[in-house]
């Protein structure tokens, strides 16, 4: 059961949104426009594949983003250099 990590790409949108919806009670909702923002903006957006099938994703932001999140803002107010793990979901 080989696991591979790779950058998320636009073609992952359906898999990411479906998995996010499965665990939306633990994460924030995400629509296609949110997914595009992540891909275009953040420092780290990775997918996990097991045996070639989509199995999860992780989204990490660095400092300096205009991101509407109380938690992200908390880090921004305290540090100039940080990594913020915004969401991780595994199927």
Domains of the chain in sequence order: 3-90 (3.40.630.30)
CA angle 35, 40, 44 (to 5 degrees): 85
Whether the pLDDT of residue 5 is over 80: the answer is yes
Alpha-carbon distance of 48 to 64, in angstroms, equals: 27
pLDDT at 19 over 80: yes
What pLDDT is attached to residue 1?
Answer: 77
Phi–psi pair at 22, nearest 5 degrees = -60, -30
* CA 21 to each of CA 32, 44, 52, 64, 80: distance values in angstroms, whole numbers, following the listed order: 12, 21, 22, 28, 32
- Report pLDDT digits (tens) over 26-85: 999 999 999 999 999 999 999 999 999 999 999 999 999 999 999 999 999 999 999 999
For 39-54, the pLDDT digits (tens) are 999 999 999 999 999 9
């Amino acid at each position: 059961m080989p696991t591979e990590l790779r950058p998320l790409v636009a073609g992952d949108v359906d898999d990411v949104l479906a998995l996010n919806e499965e665990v939306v009670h633990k994460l924030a909702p995400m629509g296609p426009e949110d997914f595009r923002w992540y891909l275009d903006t953040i420092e780290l957006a990775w997918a996990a594949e097991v045996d070639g099938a989509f199995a999860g994703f992780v989204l990490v932001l660095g400092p300096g983003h205009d991101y509407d999140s109380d938690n992200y803002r908390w880090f921004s107010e305290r540090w100039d250099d940080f990594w913020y793990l915004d969401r991780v979901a595994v199927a």
